[in-house]
A and B are shown apart, each in its own frame.
Chain A
Amino acid sequence: MNLKRSKSLVWLLWLIPLAFLLVFFYQPLLAIFRQVFSERFSQGWQFISWPQITKPLGFTLWQALLSTFFTLLIGLPAAYLFARFDFPGRKTLRSISLLPFILPTVVVATAFNSLIGPKGWLNLILMNLFNLNNPPVNLLNSIPAIVLAHVFFNTSIVIRMVGNSLSRLNPHYDEAARVLNASPWQAFREVSLPLLLPSILGASLLVFLFDFTSFGVVLMLGGPQFATLEVEIYNQAMNRFNLPMAGLLSVVQLAFTLLITTIQNRLNKPRFGKAALSSETKTLKKPKTKWQRFFVVFMVIILIILFVSPILSLVSRSLVTFEAARGERGNVETGFTLRYYTELFKNTSGSIFYANPLAAIRNSLVYSLLTMLIATTLGLLTAYALYNSNKANRWLEPLFMLPLGASPVILGLGFLISFNQPPWTSGPYPILIPIAHSLIALPFVVRTILPALQSIPNSLREAASVMSAKPFRVFLEVDLPILLRAIIVSLAFSFTISLGEFGASSFLANARTPTIPVTIFRYLSHPGALNYGQALAMSTLLLITSALGSLLIEKIRLPGEELF
């Protein structure tokens, strides 16, 4: 579908996603700003104190840069590992790497604590080994803890987005360059890198924006002495009731998001490299040379330490009881238990808001299926519109990235004043929730599909057109098979984003049909060993649901795709 010549069709492609954003993003945002600032316009702007803005802004930028750097440092080799090498456990490890993405921050904080906290495994082992009296590693409440958690959360973005491009990159190009006497580095720099650059820049941008607007990680793992813009917005709005200040900070955050996106947009002039396609299986090979074997083993160990150990410690903690009764020394029971899971099925207090775990899983699945549908459809349309873009609508692109920079607190309040009447918030499954989730997922989907679209050689389409195929047929026969991997990655992203999302769900969901993260928080907000255990058990169920879901999604195949 090369639409370069029919401008009206391009505008039609823009129309649906643009309308979606106007109604569900820009409209509520403007509504809240109008309400928040109208009072202040008449009173003057003396309420602004600049250090209150510049200080959190400086810290936010700094920690985001640091976190993005380390995420790329691990993510890029990991993406290469998964895209190029075939090794036992590859698929499992790849699926596990997506899991951190969905975990609520408080659960990750718990998992990290059981690993690197003062009484975590790491310290216990070190104290035993070296006969120390005090825990030697103290990472909680520090910048390294923030960076580590950001790397843990966001590496999967790099693995998926860059890996997706890498696996479609024809390795023969590289080999051809080598035959022409290029060094491996030259071959990489001159051939592979330019082709990969759009997806690397796209992934970095998303990671940066995620770190830039980070809230829970900074609050819970960084501790109270660190405040990002988002933390300060929450504090001003919810604790100080200083909505004008919160609104102003969120304008600053939006402006920076726009600035960063625009800069990236200018840097990323895609050369429409028509890398010949290759199906994924062909690019995979067993590690042969010594270096390749070392690389694979090294990376697998790093990824296991980073992803598998916190998740394992979380899962194991939901199955083991420690010192059941610290009140009574004599009666200590330690060992395997399924009690936390069986208790999930009991409504001990008879509460009206109780939801059994299967109902919570179903509620979450309803929202995530709707999100997959909305986000992927809109994302495809947007990607096509951007692909066929001319100068006039090229500047529209950052508008689609802006939802990532919007403060959930401010947007949530905007939603409330714009959509507080039925049908938006009523019924067991308020439609506003998958819409909010789609706003978050949309930039991912666009960034994943667009590079794939740009890699389709025009010759293929022209060939199809010459054979007088209708545009839709060209899409089905030419574009779709090539885009399929990117679409699947998009589906998996929107599925997991929706599954793990807590903020909007807790704000807007019907209290009687809570999602999994909402039930986790309900257990964690009460004292008691059983509540704690049940929160961990529920987190494990969230992990399993997500793993099964993304495995199913990755199973999607076109009929006859193997022949391609």
Chain B
Amino acid sequence: MFKKVFPILFVLIFGLSACQPATQNQGSSENPRELTIMTHDSFSISAELVSKYEADHQVKLTFIQGGDAGSALNRLVLTSGENNMPEADVFYGLDNTFLSRGLEQDLFEPYQAENSDAIPENFKLDPENRVTPIDFGDVCINYDKAWFADNNLELPTSLKDLANPMYRNLLVVENPATSSPGLSFLMATIAEFGENGYLDFWQSLNDNGLTVVSDWETAYYTNFSGSSGKGPQPMVVSYASSPAAELIYAETELSESPTGSLVAPGMCWRQIEFAGILKNTANRDLAEDFIDFLLSRDFQEDMPMQMFVYPVLPEATLPEGFVRASQIPESVATLDSALIAERRDLWVNDWTNLILK
């Protein structure tokens, strides 16, 4: 009875199978060992680099994308009991707002990477080397260049400026309770105005027509006027590298990015991402090699175009499009990571009670 339909479906499926690039099992040696890396779903790496690494080290790399950064960390915590074999050998993607949670849970084995001396000291937040800094990105406000030009409006030069009535109804931010750039921006305001002053600042932002949405996708593509979604607000909390992405992924070649970042001192928050070797791994030697690889020039120079983040290795050169459109803030807001761990929930709660109630 299903005779008529199923042949068509099967032809479709097997026909489409032919379209798959042959990436699996190209290892020349018979049985290479396997290294499993758990990451979040923004992770990416070029296929070429993986093949080269696999051939050089006689190893097969498997990547598990465990959801967003929070989900991936949760996944690790839940599946790494004392009696469990860890699901992966290496974790890549712990950032500085989640760092202390990862360290408290005792997930990692210390390892000092080969060229860790080359990494600037301000990135190394764990003195015991349980995790190694790999990349960083700055959460800053992006603005719509054309909008500001058309309206002859000066750009804000400090967070405080945003509460000025001339910028009324112009800013959209993400909810820090549900979005990682939203949380970063909240941190920047706490660093700037202190634990006692940040709520007053947010109150003044709110009085000045602040828009809050749940996630980055909505903020950027639905609300921000500088993106292809062409929403109502010309300023959005995004990344300092977003203007570079607008340039590289433009429809036609542009001479400059349609958006820019506000990088005045104190306006941006730096997210640093770490990798670490997971406890009880059976492949400690392979994992060490892989951490060294993450700090190698090859990987550090591949990263910017894959994930739109910056390498921690100072000698890594950035792609041309990146240099042209993205600004690295000279001074960024910082907070002690132990303080973040202790107070984060309280800050987010207080913020929620003030802004969303």
Task: Say yes or no: B64 contacts A119, CB within 8 Å.
Answer: no
Task: Say yes or no: B215 contacts A220, CB within 8 Å.
Answer: yes
- Give the nearest-CB partner of B145 in chain A: A327
Task: Say yes or no: A507 contacts B19, CB within 8 Å.
Answer: no
Report chain B residues within 8 Å CB of A558. Answer: 1
Q: Please encode chain A, from 205 to 248, with 1 for each CB lying within 8 Å of some chain B CB and 0 for all others.
A: 00000000000000110011100000100110111111100000
Is the C-beta of A63 less than 8 angstroms from some C-beta in chain B?
no
A side interface size, CB within 8 A: 83
Q: Please encode chain B, from 303 to 315, with 1 for each CB lying within 8 Å of some chain A CB and 0 for all others.
A: 0011010000000
Q: How far is the CB of B3 from chain A (nearest CB, A)?
A: 9
Report chain B residues within 8 Å CB of A417. Answer: 78-79
Task: Say yes or no: A366 contacts B13, CB within 8 Å.
Answer: yes
Task: Say yes or no: B41 contacts A529, CB within 8 Å.
Answer: no
Q: How big is the B interface, by class?
A: 35 or more
Q: How far is the CB of B217 from chain A (nearest CB, A)?
A: 5
Task: Say yes or no: B251 contacts A362, CB within 8 Å.
Answer: no
Is the C-beta of B151 less than 8 angstroms from some C-beta in chain A?
no
Q: A329-B146, A507-B71, A528-B250 are in contact. Are A354 and B218 (CB under 8 A)?
A: no
Task: Say yes or no: B252 contacts A224, CB within 8 Å.
Answer: no
Q: Which of B193-201, B224-232, B274-282 contacts A (4 or more CB under 8 A)?
A: B224-232
Report chain A residues within 8 Å CB of B79. Answer: 416-417, 420
Task: Say yes or no: A353 contacts B44, CB within 8 Å.
Answer: yes
Report chain A residues within 8 Å CB of B20. Answer: 359, 362
Report chain A residues within 8 Å CB of B24. Answer: 428
- Give the nearest-CB partner of A362 in chain B: B16
Task: Say yes or no: A110 contacts B229, CB within 8 Å.
Answer: yes
Determine the distance from Cα of A396 to Cα of B308 in the docked complex, in whole angstroms.
Answer: 52
Q: Which of B108-116, B159-167, B240-248 contacts A (4 or more CB under 8 A)?
A: B240-248
Task: Say yes or no: B258 contacts A326, CB within 8 Å.
Answer: yes
Report chain A residues within 8 Å CB of B327. Answer: none
Task: Say yes or no: A119 contacts B245, CB within 8 Å.
Answer: no
Q: Please encode chain A, from 285 to 329, with 1 for each CB lying within 8 Å of some chain B CB and 0 for all others.
A: 000000000000000000000000000000000000110111111
- Give the nearest-CB partner of B76 in chain A: A416
Report chain A residues within 8 Å CB of B220. Answer: 527
Report chain B residues within 8 Å CB of A141. Answer: 213
Determine the distance from Cα of A327 to Cα of B149 in the docked complex, in whole angstroms.
Answer: 10
Task: Say yes or no: A118 contacts B231, CB within 8 Å.
Answer: yes
Report chain B residues within 8 Å CB of A324. Answer: 250-252
A326 touches which of B12, B146, B212 (Cβ 8 Å): B146
Q: Please encode chain A, from 23 to 36, with 1 for each CB lying within 8 Å of some chain B CB and 0 for all others.
A: 00000000010010
Report chain B residues within 8 Å CB of A362. Answer: 13, 16-17, 19-20
Is the C-beta of B238 less than 8 angstroms from some C-beta in chain A?
yes
Task: Say yes or no: A350 contacts B47, CB within 8 Å.
Answer: yes
Report chain B residues within 8 Å CB of A325. Answer: 250-252, 254, 258
Q: A325-B252, A359-B20, A552-B8 are in contact. Are A354 and B222 (CB under 8 A)?
A: no
Task: Say yes or no: A219 contacts B178, CB within 8 Å.
Answer: yes
Q: Which of A2-10, A147-155, A192-200, A530-538 contacts B (4 or more CB under 8 A)?
A: A530-538
Is the C-beta of B57 less than 8 angstroms from some C-beta in chain A?
no
Which residues 8-50 in B have Cβ within 8 Å of A in the complex?
Answer: 8-9, 12-13, 16-17, 19-21, 23-24, 41-42, 44-48, 50
Write 10 A-B pairs (CB below 8 A) sorted by A numbering: A238-B71, A326-B144, A349-B306, A352-B63, A507-B71, A527-B249, A529-B251, A556-B1, A556-B4, A556-B5
- In order of increasing CB-CB distance, the 7 nearest A-B pairs are A528-B249, A362-B16, A224-B175, A327-B258, A532-B228, A238-B70, A350-B46
Instruction: Known pairs A327-B257, A525-B42, A555-B4; list 7 more (Cβ under 8 Å).
Output: A224-B177, A225-B212, A235-B178, A328-B255, A527-B242, A532-B227, A532-B229
